[in-house]
Amino acid sequence: MKPIFEIILKAFSWKYTPILFIGIFIFMCSTSYAKGRDTSTIAHYNLTQDKWIVSQNIDKTRPLASMTKLMTAMVALDYSKDLKRKLVLKTRVGSHLPIKEFTRNELFHAMLIRSDNAAAETIADDYPGGRQAFIKAMNAKAKEMKLSSTEFKDPTGLSGSNLSSGSDMVDIVREASLYDVIRTTSIKKQTIIETHYKTKVRSIVLENTNKPLLFEFDDIVISKTGFTNSAGWCVALLVEHWTKRAHHEPTVIDKFMSYFDGEPDRDIARGDLEQHIIIIMGAKNKSERIADVKKLMYNHINDQQISQWDYDWKIDEKSKE
């Protein structure tokens, strides 16, 4: 009896081994993916309504990578708002820029748009007392903002010891929204910096590290990505969009005047301005980071933008064709 059982088991094993291994592989991959999704930080905070929309692992302390540069920008601007002063690029880390003089404005552009690490180091080194004094000021500002999970060891985010949480990052983005330089610079899809070499002028094109989302959504007003092996793929966003104003629907006169003006009154059509902060930390790759943001944007923000007034206007326009 025993030999027969062994023969059957052996035959079954040889025949179905490939299927068995494929099944185990698929199970392991799906389990790993689900685990990765569950452990990442996904935060969506409605700043206007002061409430959490999505709050997955928002209190988990983890490396924040180049989202660090939002704090770097704030501390540097607190020190000096002079953007014309020129600084020699520091070579402590790699850069997209040549070793030359650049204005602080150019360095802010390189740091916030292309996440250039040498630009961040140069800005930090310019602080009174140098780099170490700058890092101390970063931590002092974090303490002032009561960021209990946040600590900085460098101005770039390359250090895995630069730590924060989703809830702290919401407060960092909220504070960054008060700085015009950050708002106007971080969302530029690209910047061109001209440098002189002998008699020639070299144009350096720096594209935004968050370019796909900036092209898809025009209501992003602050953007900063980040990636290191320890941090995973991260992004911090401030989104401003117009919602339907329930208490102020357009009147017949509003529609009549808008019709003859040739376009609707956008203030009436849009309604109220709402601010949303989105934080993604620890995504397993860039595609997942983008997909998480899109899910939040389309399910919780952009679907609120379509008002009956917009719909009526489109119908009116169509009837005129």
Q: Which residues are catalytic?
A: 66, 69, 115
The residue among 130, 80, 81, 85 whose CA lies nearest residue 106 is 85
Question: What is the identity of the amino acid at 184?
Answer: T
Buried b (16+ CB within 10 A) or exposed e, 143-159: eebebebbbbbbbbbbb
The residue among 41, 77, 82, 80 whose CA lies nearest residue 59 is 41
